[in-house]
Amino acid sequence: MTNRFTRLLTTSALALSALTMGGCALIESNVSGVTLNILEEGFTPPVLQVTDVEMACSFSMVNAPLVGAARNFYGDPSLMETVMLSSAGVCSENQAIAEEMRYLRAARAKQADEAQDARISQKRLLAVAAQRQYTAFNRMKTKLEQKYFFKYGETCPKFKRDFDELVYLLGSVAGLQAMQNDIAAQQVAGVPTDTAPLAEKAMACLNNTKWWGVPEATRAVVWSIIPGGAEGKDVKGTFEKSMTLGEAKGVRLAHVLAAVSAQSADDKAGVREAIRRFSGVKNFTVNPDYRLIDAIAQAQLVNISDRLWTANTGARTPISGLGKFWDDKAEDIDAGSFLK
């Protein structure tokens, strides 16, 4: 009788303990879910309205691990992580470009040791960028596949929120960037080479007009960098249409993609054309809800312009000189800006 009572008491205690722990987990999961929803719906829109790229990417670098800690409280922060890791990748890319320009200056000065050191540093930073961007891509892919029951790159989800669409867009672009940066870093991050073709197919699921021409521009980049990918495709016409949409919608990210495509093809005239077009849009009004994305686009084009200027003059793009080049007519360049 005593043994039966003891067993009953033990069983009851275990059951009560399980119920208590389950209740705590449920509470923590609910709190995490509410918190993440506040971040997605309440915090992200105001952040996308700022124009300080460095502040945004630094904020993401610092706080991405904190957001990821929601998993310890039974939450799934994958969508917010995609946004923050994509932004953090911008920081690493900016640092890598600074090292690339150090390499170019050292090469011009015939400083072999300095040039070699700068190139190594550049590749390390590109590897960090690739890792962040590929993690962003995977977080987006895994979470949205679970949420919408589709296969990324094969079928299309039926989105219920603009935020989910935005994450799908940013994560897909991050995947493409991850592959390109990993190749430049000698593939130390191990990003699969099928990431770009997957992103190309997935982007067909998004409304090109709604998302500033970026989906089709992203597809056009993939067409242009994969051998044989451009066959039967109007790559130039796709970029033209996408940039026109971006200018009308107030987000010029398609211009960056056009420049990246031209850069990959060693089309120097095409790179210049994309930069000139970005800086020369008449009566351009930035979309107030996505100022940060347009600012990131500008920062990336400044980086590309800085590479060209540094390789040819030893210095970056002059102040207010985006869209102008060292071999333009003298009156088109503010020579004094080098001294400012």
Residues near 307 by beta carbon (within 8 Å), at least 6 away in sequence:
97, 100, 101, 104
| Among 62, 95, 57, 191, CA closest to 134 | 191
27-31, 94-98, 317-321, range with the lowest pLDDT? 27-31
Q: Average pLDDT of 190-219?
A: 96
164/237 Cα distance (integer angstroms): 29
Q: Average pLDDT of 264-273?
A: 94
Q: Which residue has the higher pLDDT, 229 or 303?
A: 303
Q: Which residue has the higher pLDDT, 43 or 57?
A: 57
Q: Average pLDDT of 176-181?
A: 95
pLDDT value at residue 57? 86
DSSP state for residue 318 in the 8-state scheme:
P
pLDDT band at 174, cuts 50/70/90?
A: very high
* pLDDT above 80: residue 205: yes
pLDDT band at 2, cuts 50/70/90?
A: low
Alpha helices in the chain, H assignment, sequence order: 2-38, 44-47, 53-68, 78-108, 112-148, 162-184, 195-202, 214-225, 235-249, 253-264, 268-279, 291-313
pLDDT value at residue 340? 43
Exposure b/e, 242-268, CB count within 10 A at least 16 = b: bbebbbebbbbbbbbbbbbbbbeeeee
pLDDT value at residue 143? 95
Which SS3 state, helix, strand or coil, does residue 72 take? helix
pLDDT tens by residue, 5-17: 555 545 554 444 4
Structure tokens at 209: 């007009």
pLDDT band at 335, cuts 50/70/90?
A: very low
* pLDDT above 60: residue 66: yes
Tokens 């997957």 correspond to: 198
Q: Average pLDDT of 234-263?
A: 97
Which SS3 state, helix, strand or coil, does residue 336 take? helix
Q: Which residue has the higher pLDDT, 47 or 251?
A: 251
pTM: 0.86
pLDDT tens by residue, 126-172: 999 999 999 999 999 999 999 999 999 999 999 999 999 999 999 99
* pLDDT above 60: residue 18: no
pLDDT band at 333, cuts 50/70/90?
A: low
